[in-house]
Structure 1
Amino acid sequence: MEKRLLKVLKALAEFKDMSLGDLLEGVVLHAFEGKTAFSEETLAAIKQLRDVYGLELTAADSHRVPDDGRT
């Protein structure tokens, strides 16, 4: 995992007063259901944290997982 992304995630977990593992679990479970994991307030905090840690990566930069039914 890219180090600036990890820093943002750790800071977000601290902001939400939860463990990093619990944060990631919630994000993944929401993603599995096609739902957003974050409120507008949390998204604003994420934007600030991205600026603090210089995180410029976007979803377009993520590793691609084939979505063709293969596992």
Structure 2
Amino acid sequence: MSDDHSESVSAAANGLSSHHEGGKETVLGSEIQAKIGQHLRAMYDDVVRQGVPDRFMDLLSKLDKADTPSSEGGGRK
């Protein structure tokens, strides 16, 4: 048996899939991919629930005011 085949058999024995794409080998099973997806969704949901901090809202408000042309000519072009 070749080394590549031995690695594939070993990966399969560990419940992982082995794919060769563009000279790179990826070894992630569907269970691992699902677990990573669950963790990423949980982290994203946590960030979304936190909302935008007040200091960022203040900065955005200032930027909006600076972009609005005023009669005094103080706005950006």
Could you say whether these structures have the same fold, taking a TM-score greater than 0.5 normalized by the shorter chain as the test? no
TM-score (norm 1): 0.28
TM-score (norm 2): 0.26
Choose between structure 1 and 2 for higher RCO, CA contacts under 8 A separated by at least 6 residues.
1
* Larger proportion of strand: 2
Please say which structure displays the higher CA radius of gyration.
2
